[in-house]
Amino acid sequence: MLAGKIMLESGAETYRVEDTMNRIASAFGLENAQSYATPTGINFAIDFAESTNFIRISNRSTDLHKIAEVNNLSRKITAGEVKLSSAPALLDRIDKAKLTFPGWIQIIAAALVSGSFTIMFGGVWPDYFPSVVVGGVGFAAMLGIDRLVEIRFIAEFFASLLIGAMAVGFVYSGLGVGLDKIIIGAVMPLVPGLHITNAVRDLMAGHLVAGVSKGVEAVLTAFAIGAGVAVVFGFL
């Protein structure tokens, strides 16, 4: 259950979470273990008609490194390289580890990605620098607001609002050329690509509840981003 919790909180697909939990349980001698995961919780029983254990998942982010670490540990458990007595401590170490990049590195990466997407989507080179600045500031605003309100949709709305306002300022001051290209490039780091991918993969694996819920979450995120930009255009 701890392995499943780490993976769900790190953005893993629910079918991968259930598969990992079942493999670990089977490796430790539980032949009929029952696991059921949703984006907000995990149910697990050691056998049919046995009492069920439940864990609530309140916070979710994206940390592919932790998912890879749990998968690697799961393979070692299945291969018999890790004993039951040491597995909880290893999982607890992964759970408490800070494997994500620092905020300043994420902001720099988002800035460079924004400029690259602007060029890729048909922008001209004079739009590269404005897009880098707008994308970096917008992503920094999203991280800052997310820590204050802890509601990702609100953070993404105000971040896209700031991105739209700054892009308009760059273009009207003559420092930028294509308003649409700058905005498109700058909002790309906010786009919920992982959520969309996981929703499709869960639906294809037959996990309809998880797939639909993740799809709705991705749609709401996209709506928040679009609404923030739309507010700026409404004042033009």
DSSP annotation of 11 reads: T
**Structure token pair of residue 70:** 């749990």
pTM of the model: 0.79
Q: What is the pLDDT of residue 98?
A: 82
What residues does each domain of the chain span?
2-96, 103-234
How far apart, in whole angstroms, are the C-alpha atoms of residue 138 and residue 148?
A: 15
**Structure token pair of residue 197:** 């991918």
Task: Give SS3 for 57.
Answer: coil
Q: What is the pLDDT of residue 134?
A: 95
* pLDDT tens figures, 18-73: 999 999 999 998 888 999 998 889 999 988 878 889 999 888 888 889 999 999 99
Residues 6+ apart with CB under 8 A from 58: 40
160 closest CA partner among 224, 235, 233: 224
Q: What is the pLDDT of residue 228?
A: 93
The end-to-end CA distance of the chain, in Å, is 52
**Structure token pair of residue 87:** 């597995």
Average pLDDT over residues 125-131: 92
* Residues above pLDDT 90, as percent of the chain: 53
